[in-house]
Amino acid sequence: MRNITIIGSGFAGLTAARELRKHNIDATIIMISPRRELHFLPSSIWIPAGLRQAERLKVPLDNFLTKHRIDFVEASATGLKDGGRIVVTDRGELGNDHLIIATGGRFIRQLPGIEHALIPCEGIKVGEEMGRRLDALKGGTIAVGFATNPNEPGAMRGGPMFEFLFIIDALLRRQGKRPGFEIVFFSPAPRPGARLGERAVDGLLQEMKNRGIATRIGRNIMRFEERKVVLDGGEIDADLILFMPGLTGPAWLENTDLPLSTGGMIKADELCRVEGLPNVWVAGDAGSFPGPDWMPKQAHQADLQAIAVAANIAAIESGQQPITRFKPELVCIVDMLDSGMLVFRNQRFNFVGPKMKLFHWLKRLFERHYLTTFR
């Protein structure tokens, strides 16, 4: 029987597995991952406010794996052999006929003193720690910012940082503590959030102004200290620092012959094929793909790439040529705890909705719908 191996159990990996079965592919599907559960990080924005508990965002995958007949190997990839036909893990080697790399990316932790900042999207535990530190503060300065991979400007995740910024402001107001705090947003980009579109950037900056959030934008970040963000030409004294660095590929890619972009990610084409390696595919944050300069690194885009991968594998397995291109698309609700702003962008449209309570509840409904698939 043919073997399709998926490295990763996040959004791209799970979507690829589900879509393969939708195409009625009767092959052995092996999923390699160090954990047998999905951590739904998009909802970690609500942990500090108590809207979500960490355990609720950890979804066991046993039912999903059984339903879709997936053999799970609890291991971490460490390298590849034979042009991707063999995956090397910390628990042995596994062969395949098709390989899908869906491991996600890795945050660049190169700035001096970055250990003094919390990186929210590193995991659910960080959301819990953020909540503990906020509860302990009676006043002071909170600095929130993000940056990108200087060698691959699209490799960033800025959306969640806008959400943490506004949610913290709303939470402190709800608690009656906001007058005792200064909140500062920082970014080396002069127009942070440009991927969302110019109207969205204008709206986000205006929202900061309306809420009394100070901005330090367009200045390079030099280093972090225990209670300080040092910028090129200025400093921010801070009691709590939240920072999202740029993304690069997983460290184990360096032990392979995979073609890598200047930003350290796997080079792929519009069909999600890894350049020069037959039947090796990539979906999600680990890949460097052709597309518009606004194309995001987000779960929705990872899902769309995984859908294309499954369709192309199905074509090959039925003796046809792969022709399915992934669709570049950005869908984002910037949540503000009691309201939200919807942004949609594709090759033809860039829609920015007004701030509305409806969008906050739509985001919560989407979470429920999405997680039902895996529960």
Determine the pLDDT at residue 113: 98
Q: What is the CATH number for 300?
A: 3.50.50.60
User: Which residue is it, tokens 């006043």?
Assistant: 139
pLDDT tens, residue by residue, 135-157: 999 999 999 999 999 999 889 98
In this structure, are 169 and 235 located in the same domain? Answer: yes
Determine the pLDDT at residue 373: 82
In this structure, are 90 and 143 located in the same domain? Answer: no
pLDDT tens, residue by residue, 75-121: 999 999 999 999 999 999 999 999 999 999 999 999 999 999 999 98
> What sign does the dihedral 216-217-220-224 (CA atoms) show?
positive
Provide mean pLDDT across the span 18-29. Answer: 96
CB 332 within 8 A of CB 295: no
Determine the pLDDT at residue 150: 93
pLDDT band at 371 (very low <50, low <70, confident <90, very high): confident
pLDDT band at 315 (very low <50, low <70, confident <90, very high): very high
Determine the pLDDT at residue 293: 92
Residue 298 pLDDT > 80, yes or no? yes
The partner residues of 215 in beta bridges, in order of sequence, read 185
Q: HEC string of 166-205? A: HHHHHHHHHCCCHHHEEEEEEECCCCCCHHHCHHHHHHHH
In this structure, are 127 and 16 located in the same domain? Answer: no
User: Where does a domain end: 247, 272, 291?
Assistant: 247
- Percent of the chain whose pLDDT exceeds 70: 100
Question: 30 in a domain, yes or no?
Answer: yes
Tokens of 199: 């109207």
Report how far residue 328's alpha carbon sits from residue 128's, in angstroms, rounded to the nearest whole number.
33
In this structure, are 243 and 178 located in the same domain? Answer: yes
Residues counted in the chain: 375
Question: 91 in a domain, yes or no?
Answer: yes
Report the first-to-last Cα separation within the chain, whole angstroms: 29
Residue 4 pLDDT > 80, yes or no? yes
Residue 375 pLDDT > 90, yes or no? no
Strands 140-146 and 240-244 turn out to be parallel
* Average pLDDT for the chain: 95
Shortest CA distance to 341 belongs to which of 214, 213, 208? 208
DSSP state of 26: -
Report how many domains make up the chain.
Answer: 2
What is the residue type of 147?
Answer: A
In this structure, are 129 and 164 located in the same domain? Answer: yes
Determine the pLDDT at residue 96: 98
Determine the pLDDT at residue 9: 96
Provide mean pLDDT across the span 217-224. Answer: 97
pLDDT band at 316 (very low <50, low <70, confident <90, very high): very high
In this structure, are 218 and 150 located in the same domain? Answer: yes
Determine the pLDDT at residue 374: 80
* Domain interval for residue 56: 3-105+249-317
pLDDT tens, residue by residue, 246-278: 999 999 998 899 999 999 999 999 999 999 999
In this structure, are 200 and 121 located in the same domain? Answer: yes
Strands 70-74 and 28-33 turn out to be parallel
Determine the pLDDT at residue 296: 92
Provide mean pLDDT across the span 20-42. Answer: 95
Q: For Cα atoms 344, 345, 350, give the angle at the middle one, nearest 5 degrees.
A: 90
User: Which residue is it, tokens 């190997």?
Assistant: 73
Residue 24 pLDDT > 80, yes or no? yes
CB atoms within 10 A of CB 191: 13
Provide mean pLDDT across the span 47-56. Answer: 92
Q: How far out from the chain centre does Cα 150 lie?
A: 18
Question: 140 in a domain, yes or no?
Answer: yes
Determine the pLDDT at residue 175: 96
In this structure, are 233 and 157 located in the same domain? Answer: yes
Determine the pLDDT at residue 320: 97
Determine the pLDDT at residue 228: 97
User: Where does a domain end: 317, 344, 368?
Assistant: 317
